[in-house]
């Protein structure tokens, strides 16, 4: 047995007939070689990760190829998910002579993995792809399940495809340099996933809200969080969220039913995030999703769909993490336009919402009026 495997938590998935393995652990990166059938691979790196973790990235690269692989460095964040940046990646793949039998490895947060996955899916009609998530959000959500995307036409993620990574290498050591704002964004997705499919994890997070408040509710958005890795059992929390998402995406890879539950908070969240771009107070993905979850839990509690105490627990956890639970309501017409542009909007039936019936129980066919959203936003 590979001794590295004994130190790692692993999930084996089959997504759309393709094998996809999630590996988490302090030495997970040294297992990269098993996902590289034809070395050398090519690497797409988040600029912050490449500067802050250069020695470890070099070790990971050396473990999977003796050669110096081609490397492209791009900025992280939603602003990188554009058609122009995708074309830059295509030009780089052409210049480096990347053939169809090569593997594209990407290290970074959710935005970098989104556009890298799309490039891998479409270059030469499909390269093998390995994701190295370096943020909490990416480790518990973005890297798992094969969704790729970019932003265009003023909308969030309208262009993309399904292209699962053959390997997902999650090393919690990358999180030590993560700014506080990125921890909060990741907590929004971790809380969401727990609320959908792991009541024990959700209640564990709720019991830890005093520690979460001490870690994340203060100032210093752009600074790392001192002592964060030793304050919480992150391995158990990340593993728990990864198991929930893996279970769901294996049962419904192309989002025909069950997988829609993973959009809890995202329907409103994506609209708010898109509308806030270019304003003086843009919402991050995690902030927008947090507001979205708070609003749908309030709506569900008001309708007596969800127990009030569980809705209160959700609000308490989000606030403990320094995440917003309301924001200034946008213009109703602009909000309607943003919601109509949601990629989940169907020609038949319109836009269905994920409404909680309680922790671990989601209604994926909910209907919500704009007036209800506006009521609970402000």
CATH number for the domain that contains residue 81: 3.40.50.1970
Q: What per-residue confidence (pLDDT) applies to 8? A: 81
Bridge-partner residues for 22, per DSSP? 11, 168
> pLDDT tens across 180-206, in order?
999 999 999 999 999 999 999 999 999
Strand 128-133 with 18-24, pairing: unpaired
> pLDDT tens across 16-41, in order?
999 999 999 887 888 888 999 888 99
Q: What is the mean pLDDT of residues 292-311?
A: 98
Instruction: Show which of 176, 205, 225 is a domain's final residue.
Output: 176
221 and 172 inside one domain: no
- Lookup: tokens for 142: 């973005």
364 and 216 inside one domain: yes
Q: What per-residue confidence (pLDDT) applies to 335? A: 95
Distance CA 279, CA 351 (A): 26
72 and 164 inside one domain: yes
User: What DSSP line would sit under 160-185, residue for residue?
Assistant: EEE---SEEEE-GGGGGG-BHHHHHH
143 and 203 inside one domain: no
201 and 141 inside one domain: no
**Residue in the block written with tokens 């769901």:** 248
106 and 161 inside one domain: yes
Using 50, 70 and 90 to split pLDDT, how confident is the model at 155?
confident
Alpha-carbon dihedral angle through residues 255, 253, 26, 135, given to the nearest 10 degrees: -30
- Lookup: tokens for 267: 């329907």
Q: What is the mean pLDDT of residues 224-245?
A: 95
Q: What is the mean pLDDT of residues 143-158?
A: 93
46 and 147 inside one domain: yes
307 and 338 inside one domain: yes
Using 50, 70 and 90 to split pLDDT, how confident is the model at 101?
very high
Distance CA 269, CA 289 (A): 4
Residue 144, phi-psi category: left (phi > 0), alpha (psi -120 to 50), beta (remainder): beta
199 and 328 inside one domain: yes
131 and 276 inside one domain: no
194 and 289 inside one domain: yes
> pLDDT tens across 266-300, in order?
999 999 999 998 788 899 999 999 999 999 999 99
Instruction: Show which of 158, 176, 194 is a domain's final residue.
Output: 176
Domain that holds residue 295: 180-377
Where in the sequence numbering do the catalytic residues fall?
A: 125, 147, 189, 245, 255, 259, 263, 266, 270, 285
162 and 228 inside one domain: no
- The neighbour count for residue 375, using CB atoms within 10 Å, is 14
Instruction: Show which of 176, 211, 245 is a domain's final residue.
Output: 176
Q: What is the mean pLDDT of residues 316-332?
A: 96
């Amino acid at each position: 047995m590979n001794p590295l495997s004994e130190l790692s938590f692993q999930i084996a998935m089959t997504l759309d007939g393709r094998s996809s393995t999630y590996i988490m652990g302090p030495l997970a990166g040294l297992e990269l070689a098993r996902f590289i059938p034809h070395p050398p691979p090519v690497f797409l790196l988040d600029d912050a990760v490449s500067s802050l973790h250069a020695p470890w990235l070099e070790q990971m690269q050396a473990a999977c190829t003796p050669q110096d692989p081609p490397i492209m460095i791009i900025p992280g964040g939603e602003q990188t998910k554009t058609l122009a940046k995708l074309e830059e990646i295509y030009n780089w793949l052409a210049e480096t002579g990347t053939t169809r039998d090569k593997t594209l490895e990407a290290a970074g947060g959710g935005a970098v993995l989104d556009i890298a996955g799309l490039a891998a899916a479409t270059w030469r009609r499909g390269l093998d792809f390995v994701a190295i998530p370096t943020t909490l959000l990416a480790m518990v959500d973005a890297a798992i399940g094969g969704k790729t995307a970019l932003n265009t036409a003023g909308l969030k993620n309208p262009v993309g495809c399904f292209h699962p990574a053959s390997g997902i290498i999650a090393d919690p050591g990358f999180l030590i340099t993560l700014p506080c704002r990125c921890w909060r964004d990741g907590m929004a997705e971790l809380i969401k996933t727990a609320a959908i499919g792991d009541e024990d994890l959700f209640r564990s997070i709720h019991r830890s809200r005093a520690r979460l408040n001490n870690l994340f509710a203060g100032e210093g958005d752009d600074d790392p969080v001192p002592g964060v890795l030793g304050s919480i059992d992150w391995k158990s929390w990340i593993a728990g969220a990864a198991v929930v998402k893996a279970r769901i995406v294996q049962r419904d890879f192309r989002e025909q039913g069950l997988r829609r539950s993973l959009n809890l908070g995202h329907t409103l969240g994506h609209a708010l995030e898109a509308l806030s771009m270019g304003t003086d107070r843009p919402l991050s993905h995690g902030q927008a999703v947090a507001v979205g979850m708070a609003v749908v839990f309030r709506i569900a509690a008001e309708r007596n769909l969800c127990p009030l105490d569980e809705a209160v627990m959700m609000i308490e956890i989000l606030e403990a993490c320094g995440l917003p639970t309301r924001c200034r309501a946008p213009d109703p017409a602009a909000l309607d336009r943003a919601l109509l542009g949601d990629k989940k909007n169907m020609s038949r039936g319109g836009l269905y919402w994920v409404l909680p019936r309680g922790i671990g129980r989601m209604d994926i066919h909910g209907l919500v009026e704009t007036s209800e959203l506006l009521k609970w936003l402000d």
